Amino acid sequence: MLVVVVLGVAIGALARCSCEPEPAVDAGRIGEGPPIDEPDAGDPYTRDAGPVVCDEDANEDNDARDAATVLGSGTTTDGRYCGEDDDWYALDVDDGCNVLVELDFDPSGGDLDLLLFDPDGQLIASAGGLEDHEALNVAAGTTGRYAARLRGGTRDSIPYSMTMTASCPQDLICPADDAHEENDDAAALAALEDGVSVDAIVCATDQDWFRVPVAVGCIADARLSFVDANGDVDIELRRADGTTVQGASRGVTDSERITKVVVEGGMSYRVYFGVADPANVYRLVVDEVCAVACPGDDPWEPNDTNSGAPDLKAALDEVVGAVCADDDFFDTTPQAGCTLHVSLAFDDVYGDLDLELQDTSGAVLASSRGTTNTEQVDFPATSGARLVVRVFGFGGATATYRLRLESTCP
């Protein structure tokens, strides 16, 4: 999950000050050297240790990478994390395949994080959310033993279930399809996890449908990758009715991408062949972005001019964005005879933003330049011609915002 700090919002931070230099300690490689002191210093290459707080499981002693419990692909094992050490598991994976690691645990005993290391002992991925589930899916860049480390607090006692799976493109074939079936329509959506990729195959006229794993009001950044020479795969984002297309990517390269704010629950992705082909494997990952900031700006950049601005649905659409010393422009095409309502919300304390509605030549059709936390424009669309929304800072102000478009029709 992508976590970003909203511009201008004060976030409390803990700072430590040491007036005496700390003595140098050689921690060695993973599983070697002295234990780190509480609280956990967060070094993935340092062994954790603490008091014995519970009876361990039958997989011990798997306290270091070289002593990891080796699992079979797709095999689930139950264990218990005890605060005196970490638990390690490993899976042998071939180059070109993917390593899927899934961890479920009881959060009442504490929080577990997941770290994945390649055969050379290098950290290649980590998951550290606060939920009762962590997962990773990483491409194997070399053949060898991949090790997963379960890491918690030094006084935690946490029961868990652990699964490691190797998935290879050659294992995905039609008509057998993939593990996410049956997900052939909007009534049978397969599950996705925020930030965790899925490897699947689309077969001829068969379509793959997935539930959007992002909270309403946050940005869903969906990326689809495949080899276009094996078949052109496209993707659509659909509203909860399963019919209305909220966003689409129908290019002819090896990747597709849709970046949209989730406007309602129950939205879905449809993955399909743009032109009929027998089969093609793909990887789909969706990241949740619930805040944006400067100077990183927002996912819609560059949209600093009237021409070529990102397209928004006039019926109902939202943007979570940031004005960072430039203007933001968005296209929309309202239905003739309907009224387009454009609203802009922000915190005026951090910067005063204004709102304009323009035609394609840049002529201003309507505007809102108040001094409160909101701006709003209501525009009767008599012709149904394309319009451009401009969000800009008064006097060069910088701020984050939420832009919402909605139409009412007689």
Strand order through the sheet with 98-105: 75-82, 157-167, 98-105, 133-139
SS (H, E, C) the chain: CECCCCCCCCCCCCCCCCCCCCCCCCCCCCCCCCCCCCCCCCCCCCCCCCCCCCCCCCCCCCCCHHHCEECCCCEEEEEEEECCCCEEEEEEECCCCEEEEEEEECHHHCCCEEEEECCCCCEEEEECCCCCEEEEEEECCCCEEEEEEEECCCCCEEEEEEEEEEECHHHCECCCECCCCCCCCCCCCECCECCECEEEEEECCCCEEEECCCCCCCEEEEEEEECHHHCCEEEEEECCCCCCEEEEECCCCCEEEEEEECCCCCCEEEEEECCCCCEEEEEEEEEEECCCECCCECCCCCCCCCCCCCEECCCEEEEEEEECCCCEEEEECCCCCEEEEEEEEECCCCCCEEEEEECCCCCEEEEECCCCCEEEEEEEECCCCCEEEEEEEHHHCCEEEEEEEEEECC
CATH assignment of 311-408, among 3.40.50.360, 3.40.50.620, 2.60.120.380, 3.30.450.20: 2.60.120.380
Say what the pLDDT of residue 58 is.
87
| Cα–Cα distance for residue pair 250/234, rounded to 1 Å | 5
pLDDT at 50 over 70: no
Residues in the chain: 410
What is the token pair recorded at 40? Answer: 């956990």
* Close Cβ partners of 124 (under 8 Å, ≥ 6 residues apart): 116, 117, 118, 138
Mean pLDDT, residues 324-353: 94
Predicted confidence band at 20 (pLDDT cuts at 50, 70, 90)?
very low
Say what the pLDDT of residue 177 is.
85
Say what the pLDDT of residue 344 is.
96
The mean pLDDT value of the chain amounts to 86
| Cα–Cα distance for residue pair 112/262, rounded to 1 Å | 29
Structure confidence by residue, pLDDT tens digits, 97-136: 999 999 999 888 888 999 999 999 999 999 887 788 999 9
Residues linked to residue 145 through DSSP beta bridges, in sequence order: 92
Say what the pLDDT of residue 24 is.
41
**pTM (2 decimals)?**
0.78
Domain 172-289 has CATH 2.30.30.30: no
Boundaries of every domain in the chain? 65-168, 172-289, 311-408
pLDDT at 191 over 70: yes
Q: Which of 19-33, 214-228, 316-330, 355-369 has the lowest mean pLDDT?
A: 19-33
Backbone angles phi, psi at 109, to 5 degrees: -95, -5
Say what the pLDDT of residue 42 is.
57
User: Higher model confidence: residue 208 or residue 107?
Assistant: 208
Say what the pLDDT of residue 5 is.
35
What percent of the chain stands above pLDDT 90? 66
Q: Which of 21-25, 89-93, 102-106, 314-318 has the lowest mean pLDDT?
A: 21-25
Rounded (5°) CA angle 398-402-405:
130
Q: Which of 2-16, 231-245, 335-349, 369-383 has the lowest mean pLDDT?
A: 2-16
Q: Which amino acid is at 288?
A: E
Mean pLDDT, residues 183-202: 93
pLDDT at 36 over 60: no
Among residues 131, 153, 150, which one has the least CA distance to residue 53? 153
pLDDT at 392 over 80: yes
Predicted confidence band at 43 (pLDDT cuts at 50, 70, 90)?
low
Say what the pLDDT of residue 41 is.
41
User: Higher model confidence: residue 55 or residue 137?
Assistant: 137
Predicted confidence band at 48 (pLDDT cuts at 50, 70, 90)?
low
In CATH terms, are 65-168 and 172-289 the same topology?
Answer: yes
User: Higher model confidence: residue 9 or residue 267?
Assistant: 267
Predicted confidence band at 152 (pLDDT cuts at 50, 70, 90)?
confident
Domain 65-168 has CATH 2.60.120.380: yes
